[in-house]
Amino acid sequence: MVNESVISEHYKHGQLMELIETGLREMGKSKDSVTVEDLAPVDEFHIGGRAATEHLVNQLVIRQSDRLLDVGCGLGGASRFVAKTYGNAVTGIDLTEDYVSVGNALSCWVGLQDLVSLRQGSALNMPFDNASYDGAYMLHVGMNIQDKECLFSQISEVLKSGSRFGVYDVMRTSDGGLSYPVPWASDDSFSFLANAEEYSFLLESAGFKIECIANRKDFALEYFKRLKEKADATNGPPPIGLHLLMQSTTPVKIKNMIENIVNGLISPTEIVAQKT
């Protein structure tokens, strides 16, 4: 079992807040004027960004009274989107202290600190009471978690019966060696991909009923195509974007990600399930 500190170290940054503030100044924005929409290109670290978040969350049938859990929340972009759009209280949990501290500051900047609370911790040892959440989701998290049986068991325990759980992960679609590095791993020593069938089996074993599974390959390739077109049109990345997170490794990680998808080895995939 890989020590979780290895995963946290992979995402550790150190200068993230400064880079975001610099990017905002280039946009003519400040802490006082920035919006949830302004932050979306950097704080939703998954294929498709905000559009992918909306597509998944809209399937969860959220009520404003629902208390939601964002598993592997990163900077909390999805949490802030949900809180702003639906008015829900959202708790996020993530291994990386950098992401959590910056994410809580961003929530204050956009006035959502009363609805969004991010905390550092492990999804394999949830610090929450049983049956304390009305719904949950995770976006590009399972690739770094080897013990998915424990992960889904922990999520099931903190959800109320009837709650929906949405997953949007990069999953295996065929066997074969991947090109590394990719955004979630520098090599295969801490990359734990599984296919949709394995996810479904483990979710059902944890007390979930699968409602739908959707391969989002075409959506992903279109997303990367648009990113390249925008970068080509402006001779470089925008002031705010995922390159602030991945820094100098961004081009090779994106190139390898696209290559792995095109070669039919992986694909971002959605699963929506309901706790029985």
Q: Where are the domains of the chain?
A: 4-275
Per-residue model confidence (pLDDT) at position 2: 76
Digits of tens for pLDDT over the chain (276 positions)? 678 999 999 999 889 999 999 999 999 999 999 999 999 999 999 999 999 999 999 999 999 999 999 999 999 999 999 999 999 999 999 999 999 999 999 999 999 999 999 999 999 999 999 999 999 999 999 999 999 999 999 999 999 999 999 999 999 999 999 999 999 999 999 999 999 999 999 999 999 999 999 999 999 999 999 999 988 998 889 999 999 999 999 999 999 999 999 999 999 999 999 999
Classify 4-275 by CATH class: alpha beta
Please, what's the b/e burial string for 129-155 (b: 16 or more CB within 10 A of its CB; e: otherwise)? eeeebbbbbbbbbbbbbbebebbbbbb
Q: Cite the beta strand spans of the chain per DSSP E.
A: 67-71, 89-94, 116-120, 133-139, 159-172, 208-215, 266-275
Per-residue model confidence (pLDDT) at position 146: 97
Per-residue model confidence (pLDDT) at position 1: 66
Contact between residue 128 and residue 69 where contact means Cβ atoms under 8 Å apart: yes
Place of tokens 């964002």: 70
Per-residue model confidence (pLDDT) at position 29: 95
Per-residue model confidence (pLDDT) at position 81: 98
Per-residue model confidence (pLDDT) at position 3: 82
